[in-house]
Structure 1
C-alpha cells in the first residue's frame, strides 16, 4: 500500500532538526501546547479487575486524578460497537466522561466502528453490521456515532472532539470502505461526520491515520478525502518513534499538512517504554534497549521522548499544533485486563509503556508538559 507523492519544494529547509540530546532529562519542560492528553480506555476494566494506582510517593489514588495533577487536560476513550468483554461501550464512556469533567478535563471519543481493535491491519465490521447493504451500513455508522455523542451531551458532558475511525490509513469497515474504493469510504466517513455534528454541535471532527512520519502517505490520503468532499477539522496522527520515522519526519509532515489543508494537527497516539521486561507472562510489544537510537528504555528516556515530541508539535507554524495524547498510560498488568477481549486469560503487552511502574507508582513522564 505504498504511495509516492511529490512534496512541496522548500518545506524541509524551514525545519530545524529536532535533536533528542538537546532536550535531555535535566532540561526545562517541553514548550506548551493546548492539549496534553491521555487515552484512558483501559481504566474501567482494569479497576474492575483490581488495578491499583499510586502517586510517585506511593499514596494510592484515582488514576485520572493522578494524570490530571501531572498536567493532563484531555481524556481519549475508544468505542467498540459490541465488545466481547463488555467494555468500551456507552456505559463506560459516559462514566469516564463524568470523571474527566469533574476534574476539568475534556473528552475525545475515538470511534473504531468494530467490535474489537481497528488499526491499519484490521478494520473488521461489527458482527451486527456484517450483512448490511451499503446504504444500511452508512445508516449504522450515523446511528452509532449519534447515539454515543448524543448520550454524552444529554448527561451534560459533551465531547470536545471525535475521531471518525481509528488509524484508517486503509479505510474502515472492510471491504466496503477500503482505501481502494474511495467513493464508498468517503460516504461512510461523511455519515460519521454528519452524525457527530448533529449530535454535538460545535464538536471538532478528527480524521486519524497511523502515518505520523509519512508525508507522502498522509497527503495521498487527505487529497482523496478532500476529493470526496469529506469535512473535518483536525488531522490526527499516530507517531511511535520505533515505527513511524524520526521526529524530523514528524515535524516535516505536520508542518506541511497543516499548511496544505489549513487544519490543526494532533498526535493522537504515542508512547515509550520505561523498561524492557514484562510484569506478566505475556511478551511485550517493544523490548529493545533503545527503541529510538540514543534514547534508552528507562523512566528518563520515556520522559525525554514525551518532552521531545511535544516540542515538535509546539513548533508547527501558526499555532496549528494542538498537542499530544499518550496512548494507554494506565494499562498496567492486571489479570483479566489483557490485550485480547475474546480471551479473559490473555496478558498485557503494554505495561512497560505505561506511565505507572511495576509497583503502580506514577513515573516522571506523568509530568511531561
Structure 2
C-alpha cells in the first residue's frame, strides 16, 4: 500500500550504474576492461529507490511489453550505482515518517546492486540531511570544535567502510563530501571562495582542509584494517566554471594541510537550469584545465536534462538547441560523455545521472516538470504509482 507519507511528503524536497551478471553466473566487476583500459563508469544515483518501492512504486519496461522489472534491469548499460549516505537522518514529517538515507538503508541497497555486479559509489554527505552548496551542516550530535570533530569524522569513515566490507560489499569509489564548494560540516568547515585578499581566502579554507584530511585518514585506516581500497573522490558543483575550480583548489591546497594525493578522482556536477553559462564549451574548457593541471581521473557525477519543461517558471536552459524530450535527455548525456571521454590521456572516466526513478520528485530540484527517465502514472494512487520507462533509460546502452 502506498502511503501518503511515502510519496506525498517528500515531493517538495529539492536537491540540489555495462556490467550485469548472466543468470547462474557470478557477477564480475573490473577496474579495467578486457583490453586493460580503465573502465568508463556509467551510473545512476538510485538512492531513493527503496523508499519508492517500500511505498508501493512499481516500474514498467515499455520496451519489453510493459513488463514489471527492477529499475536496475530497465536502465540498460549502467555499470555503477551511486548511493548517498546520511549520518543520523531523523527528519520527522506530519505523520512521523522519516526520510532516511542511513547506514542500514544504504547497506541494503548497496548489497542488492553489488550482488548484480555493479560498482558501488558511496556518496558521503557527512550530515543528517542534504549536503550541497546550500546545506552542508555537521551532524547535530557531533562535536562543535574542529579537533574533536575531525577525530569523530575519521572514526565514522572507518566504521562505515568496515560495515560495507562486513556485508560483502567492495566499494569502488567514495566521495568525501558532496558538492563541497562552500565546504562541509558547517559551520566549522564552511568556506567562501570569494574571500579577499588571497591570504584571507586560504586561511578560510584551513578548517575544511583539516576536516577533509581526517576523512581521508579514515579511508586509510579502513584499508589498513583489510577493507577493499576504493578510489577517493573530491566533488565540487558547477563543473563548467573554470574560475570557481581554479580558485577553490588553489586555496584548498595552499593551506598546506592537504595534497593532491589525498584524492584519486575529481568529481563535478553539471546542471542545465542554474545558469546559462553551464554550456558544453565551458565544461570542456574547465575539465581540460583540471586534467592538464592535476593529471587525475575526472568524473561528471551529477547531471540531468528535462523531458518536460514549460510554463512561466520554466528556466532558460544552457543548451537550448537540445530538445526538451526523452531524446533530448539522451543527446545531453551523450554530448557530456563525448567531452569527458575526450579529455587528455584517458583521464575522463565516468558519468552519473541523478535520480532517474524518483517518481514523486520528477523535477529533481529544478523548476522543469520532469527530468527523470520514467513517466509517473498516479491513476491507481494510493494503492500504487507506476513508472513507465522512457526511451532515455537506454542512454548508456551503446556508449
TM-score relative to the length of structure 2: 0.75
Q: Which residue of 2 aligns with 1:229?
A: 258
Q: Which residue of 2 aligns with 1:356?
A: 374
Q: Does the 8 Å contact 1:333/1:348 carry over to 2? A: no
Q: Does the 8 Å contact 2:47/2:84 carry over to 1? A: yes
Shift in Å at residue 288 of structure 1? 4.4
Shift in Å at residue 290 of structure 1? 5.3
Q: Which residue of 2 aligns with 1:120?
A: 133
The 3 A distance-change label for structure 1 pair 77 and 140 is same
Q: Work out whether 1:175 is the aligned partner of 2:187.
A: yes
Q: Work out whether 1:135 is the aligned partner of 2:143.
A: no
The RMSD of aligned alpha carbons is: 2.5
Q: Work out whether 1:98 is the aligned partner of 2:111.
A: yes
Partner of 2:132, secondary structure, is: coil
Alignment of 1:78-97 (within 5 A): 78-83=84-89, 84=91, 85=98, 87-97=100-110
Q: Does the 8 Å contact 2:111/2:169 carry over to 1? A: yes
Shift in Å at residue 289 of structure 1? 8.0
Q: Work out whether 1:212 is the aligned partner of 2:220.
A: no
Q: Does the 8 Å contact 1:241/1:247 carry over to 2? A: no
Q: Does the 8 Å contact 1:33/1:313 carry over to 2? A: no
The 3 A distance-change label for structure 1 pair 351 and 106 is farther
Q: Work out whether 1:324 is the aligned partner of 2:346.
A: no
Distance (Å, rounded) in 2 between the aligned partners of 1:348 and 1:261: 32
Alignment of 1:141-160 (within 5 A): 141-160=153-172
Q: Which residue of 2 aligns with 1:259?
A: 292
Q: Which residue of 2 aligns with 1:58?
A: 66
The 3 A distance-change label for structure 1 pair 363 and 338 is closer
Q: Does the 8 Å contact 1:331/1:350 carry over to 2? A: no
Shift in Å at residue 141 of structure 1? 1.2
Q: Does the 8 Å contact 1:41/1:77 carry over to 2? A: yes
C-alpha deviations, 1:71-109, integer Å up to 9, x for none? 010000111111122521111111111111122101111
Shift in Å at residue 111 of structure 1? 0.9
Distance (Å, rounded) in 2 between the aligned partners of 1:289 and 1:208: 25
Distance (Å, rounded) in 1 between the aligned partners of 2:229 and 2:219: 9
Q: Which residue of 1 aligns with 2:54?
A: 48
Distance (Å, rounded) in 1 between the aligned partners of 2:368 and 2:123: 19
Shift in Å at residue 294 of structure 1? 1.3
Q: Does the 8 Å contact 2:363/2:371 carry over to 1? A: no
Distance (Å, rounded) in 2 between the aligned partners of 1:264 and 1:237: 11
Partner of 1:109, secondary structure, is: strand
Partner of 1:365, secondary structure, is: helix
Using CA pairs below 8 Å that are at least 6 residues apart, which structure has the higher relative contact order?
1
Q: Does the 8 Å contact 2:171/2:228 carry over to 1? A: no
TM-score relative to the length of structure 1: 0.81
C-alpha deviations, 1:159-208, integer Å up to 9, x for none? 11111111000111112112252121101001111112322442111000
Q: Which residue of 262, 281, 288 corresponds with 1:248?
A: 281
Instruction: Figure out how many residues of one structure are paired with residues of the other and give that number.
Output: 320
Q: Which residue of 263, 266, 269 corresponds with 1:238?
A: 269
Which stretches in structure 2 are left out of the alignment for 5+ residues? 1-37, 92-97, 193-203, 378-386
Q: Work out whether 1:193 is the aligned partner of 2:213.
A: no
Q: Which residue of 267, 273, 278 corresponds with 2:306?
A: 273
Q: Does the 8 Å contact 1:197/1:203 carry over to 2? A: no
Distance (Å, rounded) in 1 between the aligned partners of 2:329 and 2:169: 32
Q: Which residue of 316, 330, 333 corresponds with 1:306?
A: 333
